[in-house]
Structure 1
Amino acid sequence: MMKGPPRQRASILDPYKPYLERRWAEPGGKIIGLTLLEEIRERGYRGGHTVLAAWKQGQQRPGRPVPPPAPPAVRAAVGWLTRHPADLTLDEELQRKTLLAHCRELETMAELVRSFAEMFSELEGERLPEWITQAMTSGLRGINTFANGLNSDYDAVEAGLTTPWNSGHVEGAVNRIKMPKRQMFGRAGFPLLRKGVLLA
């Protein structure tokens, strides 16, 4: 089985490459690397000079074009879109913005995720009908499926997004009951299972 070309790893410099390429193409001779470093640091770059120097060296080789940056890993992209923006580092926020700028569907999905998380944390269940309508008309298959699931059990979901009550206080007790059940599954009848639960 033939292997494809090695996948290029994402770089902290990726969000700034369009700016660097525009500056590099400007007339007026070579640009000092420290000048470029200072300019992109003003725009939020937090990396060192080594990464920029490697990029500049690639630009000085006309016979070897710099390959486009590799797409981010799926797990990383999911994290950027589902975590609270305040929990993202500056580099992660820049990569998130770059990702959304290249995909209109992801931008729509990110906005729906953000609004649902806000509705969930703020207990604003009255916004649920509007959110479901937006989700079902978004054209995003996964979001549509999720919205249909909410709609099928609407009363319970609305109550969960409106009232402060939850089952968190009894989850420990439920788990303690389930543990001996799993341990004895297929090896004990109901009488022994009952005794194990009561003793636990």
Structure 2
Amino acid sequence: MDSLRLVSRSALLLKAVLARCPDLDTTTGHVQAFAEMMNARTGHQLPDWLDKAQATDLPELVSFVNGVRSDQVAVTAGLSLPFSSGAVEGQVNRIKMLKRQMFGRAGFDLLRKRVLLAS
């Protein structure tokens, strides 16, 4: 019951903040729409979303739109296709963590052994 009360209180506070700042409210709507495209894998909606976001004239959002437009084909594929590089990214992060832990302690040979044995 307490968690439900906390969620409803948080929702009310968020609603109050968004009511005081129209730019933040607009940004929130666009971010939620983009997140929905990611979750539903509806990349075909990207051009329409980009046009709407560009029309807001919010500098941060327009900057994001310009970055997406610079490689729109890849972004559309990422929002549409079921493939993920999550497993690879996880391995890269694990190796980087091991490298940071070993920094200044030993050479490449010991790092190589630790990476191979840690899997």
Q: Using structure 2 for the length normalisation, give the TM-score.
A: 0.74
* Distance in 1 of aligned mates of 2:113 and 2:8: 55
Larger radius of gyration: 1
Give the corresponding residue for 1:22.
none
Structure with higher helix content: 2
Give the corresponding residue for 1:158.
76
SS in 1 for 2:63: helix
Give the corresponding residue for 2:50.
132
| Cα 1:189/1:153, change in 2 over 3 Å | farther
* Distance in 2 of aligned mates of 1:109 and 1:173: 33
- The runs of 5 or more residues in structure 1 that have no matched partner are 1-87
Q: Using structure 1 for the length normalisation, give the TM-score.
A: 0.48
Percent identity of the aligned residues? 52
Give the corresponding residue for 2:16.
98
Report whether the alignment pairs 1:173 with 2:91: yes
- The runs of 5 or more residues in structure 2 that have no matched partner are 1-5
Give the corresponding residue for 1:48.
none
Give the corresponding residue for 1:196.
114
Q: CA RMSD in A?
A: 2.4
* Distance in 2 of aligned mates of 1:170 and 1:155: 22
| Cα 1:175/1:107, change in 2 over 3 Å | closer
